Amino acid sequence: MAETHETVFKSVQELANDNQVPEKYIHTQGSINSSSPLLDVPVVDLSLLTSPARQQELNKLQSGLEFCGCIQVINHGLVDSFLDKVHEISKQFFALPAEEKLKYARTVDDIYGYGNDSVLSDKQKLDWTDRLYLNVFPEDIRNLKLWPQKPECFREVLEEYIKNMKLLSESLLKAMAASLNLEENCFLDQCGERGDMIARFNFYPPCPTPEVVLGVKPHADASAITILLQDKEVEGLQVLKDDQWFRVPIVPYGLLVNVGDQVEIMSNGIFKSPVHRVVTNAERERNTLAVFIMPDVTVGIGPVEKLINEERPRAYKDVKNYVELFFQSYQHGKRPIETAMICQEQD
C-alpha cells in the first residue's frame, strides 16, 4: 500500500531531512522577510461576555475584526492541559514512520487525508508543509478511514476538541453579530443547520532556505471564521495590512480567530477577511491546528439587510457554494471574494 501512495507526493518532511528544496517551492519575487513588525491583535476575554464588562469586550472584538480581521481569545473554555494534549497528538502523528502516515494518505484528486499541497497548475508554487485534512462535522460526513489510529488517543482527543470548537464557534458568531447591534443569530442562521467543520493539522519542517520558501502562500480563508491553535513557541503566521506584512504574536493557550470571506460578505465588508501567509524557519519545526467553520453549501449567504444603507451600500452579491468559487480562483492567484463584489458606480 505504501508504494502506491509514494508516487503521489514526497513529504516536505522527507525533503527537509534530505536538505532538499525543489524549484517548485522557491518564490523568485524578492526575499521573504520573517522579521516583519508585530501586529497589535486585540485579546478578547470570552469569560467577560457574560459580565458587566460585556460591552467593552464586544467593542474590542468589533474593532479587531474591522482593523485586522483577527482577534486572540482567552478564557475560551478549554483548559491548558487539554490544549497540551491536542498539540501532542499532532506532534506524535507527524513523527510517525512514513509507512504509518501513508495509511491515511489523500488521493491525488482529493484534499482530505495526509499529504501536502494539492497541485492544481504547473506554475503553482508549493507550500512547505505537510498536512492532515479531516472533515469533522457533521458526524455523518466523517471518513474515519482517514482518522489516525496512532497515537492511540488521537481520535478521542480530536473528538473532544471538535465538540468544544462547535460551541466556541457558535458563541463567537453570536458575539460578532451582537457587536454590530444585530440579532445575535443572524450570522449563525446563514451558516445553516448543516454547516461543515474541517480540521487541518499543519506541520512545517525546518526549511534550509526560509528567505525564498513559504509555509503557506498568501490567501484569505473561504470559511465563515477560522479558529487556529498556534504553535506554543514558534511564530510563523503573518497578516497583510495596508500592503505590509505583520507577524501575528503567540498568546500562550489563546486561540486566534480570523474572519473568513463568508463573514466578510455577511457583514457587508465591515469585518475584513485578512490575507495571510506562513513563513518558514531554518532551525525549528512548527505545529498548528486550524478549524474552519464553513456555512452549508446548499444555503445562500449574503450581506445582512440591516448593514445595507446609503452610507454603506450593498457591497456583495448573494452567493451559494462559495467554496467551489474559492478553489477555482485561489490557485489562479485571484482573490475569490472579488468575484462576489458589486462594483459601485461613481457619480
Q: How many CB atoms lie within 10 A of CB 35?
A: 8
Among 121-125, 255-259, 300-304, 328-332, name the one with the lowest average pLDDT. 328-332
Q: Are 36 and 246 in contact (CB under 8 A)?
A: yes
Instruction: Output the DSSP codes for 211-275.
Output: TTBEEEEEE--SSSEEEEE--SS---EEEEETTEEEEPPP-TT-EEEEE-HHHHHHTTTSS----
Q: 333 pLDDT band (50/70/90 cuts)?
A: low
Q: 9 pLDDT band (50/70/90 cuts)?
A: low
Q: 207 pLDDT band (50/70/90 cuts)?
A: very high
> Letter for the amino acid at 234?
V
- Residue 345 within a domain: no
State the pairing for strand pair 255-259/113-115: unpaired
- Residue 126 within a domain: yes
pLDDT of 45 > 60? The answer is yes
pLDDT for 8: 47
- Residue 317 within a domain: no
**CATH no. for residue 227?**
2.60.120.330
As a whole number, mean pLDDT of residues 175-200 equals 95
As a whole number, mean pLDDT of residues 144-173 equals 96
Q: How many whole angstroms separate alpha carbon 43 and alpha carbon 51?
A: 17
Cα dihedral across residues 22, 4, 158, 119: positive or negative: positive
Domain residues for the domain of 179 are 25-311
Q: Are 26 and 214 in contact (CB under 8 A)?
A: no
Number of structural domains (the chain) is 1
pLDDT for 34: 74
Instruction: List residues bridging with 255 in a β-sheet.
Output: 73
- Residue 328 within a domain: no
Q: Work out the percent of the chain whose per-residue pLDDT is above 90.
A: 78
Stated length of the chain: 347
- Residue 323 within a domain: no
pLDDT tens string 230-275:
999 999 999 999 999 999 999 999 999 999 999 999 999 999 999 9
Instruction: List residues bridging with 267 in a β-sheet.
Output: none
pLDDT tens string 278-287:
999 999 999 9
- Residue 171 within a domain: yes
Instruction: Output the DSSP codes for 87-124.
Output: HHHHHHHHTS-HHHHGGGBPPTT--SEEE------TTP
Cα dihedral across residues 79, 84, 89, 94: positive or negative: positive
Q: Work out the percent of the chain whose per-residue pLDDT is above 70.
A: 94
Q: Give the per-residue SS3 of 155-216.
A: HHHHHHHHHHHHHHHHHHHHHHHHHCCCCCCHHHHHHCCCCEEEEEEEEECCCCCCCCEEEE
pLDDT of 344 > 70? The answer is no
pTM for this prediction: 0.94
- Residue 260 within a domain: yes
Q: How many CB atoms lie within 10 A of CB 80?
A: 8
- Residue 318 within a domain: no
Q: 330 pLDDT band (50/70/90 cuts)?
A: low
